[in-house]
């Protein structure tokens, strides 16, 4: 029997929180200097990568080496790809309208309000959502088929997220598409291929944690559940669709295209 290393994992929770906080505070300092808080979106993926790397270092000699390497590499690849994509997408643009609307409600200092409501909140979410990444590295049990199933989920998720982002970027870069709804490629199968990809990635990482035993599964199941709620009913799908409602062609696109899980489009009536 390969028991879960509870004491070391409990200590890692504190270090993971400190790591996420350090990334967010550093990002806040950069944003304050720039006068623009949209840079926090870049820090989201970077913070997960940092937590994975710190956990990998702290768990040396505690968990199975292969699982530690696997979950760290998958998290870093996902986090840095997302950070680079968001940095490129936002280059040359001003403040994100979401943060403008949020900061318009601030009473008193806008930057301190942003620190509380954006940076510290996202730092807390990074700590919570990264629980499978942390727990997976503190079980000595060797990899089995469940871990590879989780890796397959992650790979399909990264495909949907990265290809969907690239397809949308090319679509927006073409001036002839101005004012049109993106309904090509993966966007024919789901209105949110990038969010669906993120959904698969975190359920995949959770399966890798589950491969380490029920203890790792029990302490980390909250992560994919929280991400699912955020992606479908929180700041992901619901918020974006509220912004898109009323645009020419949107209602037709909604009528024929799945809202989240991919499927062939319905025929136009």
Q: Per-residue pLDDT tens for 1-33?
A: 568 899 999 999 999 999 999 999 999 999 999
| Token pair belonging to 34 | 């720039």
Mean pLDDT of 147-171: 97
pLDDT at 188: 96
Task: Name the strand (E) or helix (H) holding 263.
Answer: none
The model's pTM = 0.93
Domain boundaries, the chain: 6-256
Q: Between 269 and 105, whose confidence is greater?
A: 105
104 three-state secondary structure: coil
Rounded-to-integer distance, Cα 123 and Cα 48, Å:
10
- Collect contacts of 248-251 with beta carbons under 8 A, ≥24 apart: 248/179, 248/181, 249/180, 249/181, 250/181
Q: What percent of the chain has pLDDT over 70?
A: 99
pLDDT digits over 58-101, tens only?
Answer: 999 999 999 999 999 999 999 999 999 999 988 878 777 777 77
Q: Where are the alpha helices (DSSP H) in 61-114?
A: 65-90, 97-103, 110-114
Which whole number is the average pLDDT over 115-144? 95
pLDDT surpassing 80 at residue 173: yes
Residue 138 banded pLDDT, cuts 50, 70, 90: very high
Q: Kindly report the number of other CB atoms within 10 A of residue 83's CB atom.
A: 19
**Confidence band, pLDDT 50/70/90 cuts, at residue 105:** confident
- Banded model confidence at residue 269, pLDDT cuts 50, 70, 90: low
Q: d(Cα 193, Cα 161) in Å, to the nearest integer?
A: 6
Place of tokens 């949907």: 160
Outline where DSSP puts E strands in the chain. Answer: none
Q: How far is CA 124 from CA 8, 16, 32, 119, 127, in A?
A: 20, 10, 20, 9, 5
> What does the radius of gyration of the chain's CA atoms come to, in whole angstroms?
20
Say which range, 96-100, 160-164, 222-226, has the weakest mean pLDDT.
96-100
- pLDDT of 2 reads 63
Mean local confidence (pLDDT), 190-208:
97
């Amino acid at each position: 029997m390969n028991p879960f290393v509870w004491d070391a994992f409990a200590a890692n929770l504190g270090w993971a929180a400190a790591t996420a906080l350090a990334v967010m505070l550093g990002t806040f300092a950069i944003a304050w200097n720039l006068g623009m808080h949209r840079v926090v979106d870049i820090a989201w993926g970077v913070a997960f990568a940092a937590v994975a790397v710190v956990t990998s270092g702290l768990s040396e000699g505690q968990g199975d080496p292969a699982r530690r390497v696997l979950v760290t590499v998958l998290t870093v690849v996902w986090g840095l790809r997302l950070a680079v994509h968001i940095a490129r997408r936002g280059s040359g643009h001003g403040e994100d309208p979401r943060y403008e609307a949020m900061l318009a409600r601030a009473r008193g200092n806008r930057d301190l309000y942003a620190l509380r409501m954006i940076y510290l909140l996202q730092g807390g979410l990074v700590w919570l959502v990264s629980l499978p990444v942390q727990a997976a590295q503190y079980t000595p049990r060797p990899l089995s088929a469940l871990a590879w199933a989780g890796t397959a989920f992650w790979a399909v998720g990264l495909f949907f997220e990265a290809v969907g982002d690239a397809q949308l970027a090319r679509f927006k870069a073409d001036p002839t598409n101005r004012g049109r709804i993106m309904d090509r490629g993966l966007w024919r199968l789901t209105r949110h291929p990038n969010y669906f990809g993120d959904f698969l990635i975190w359920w995949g990482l959770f399966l890798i944690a589950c491969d380490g035993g029920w203890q790792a599964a029990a302490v980390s199941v909250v992560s994919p559940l929280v991400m699912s709620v955020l992606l479908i009913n929180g700041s992901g799908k619901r918020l974006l669709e509220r912004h898109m409602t009323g645009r020419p062609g949107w209602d037709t696109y909604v009528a024929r295209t799945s809202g989240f899980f991919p499927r062939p489009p319905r025929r136009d009536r």
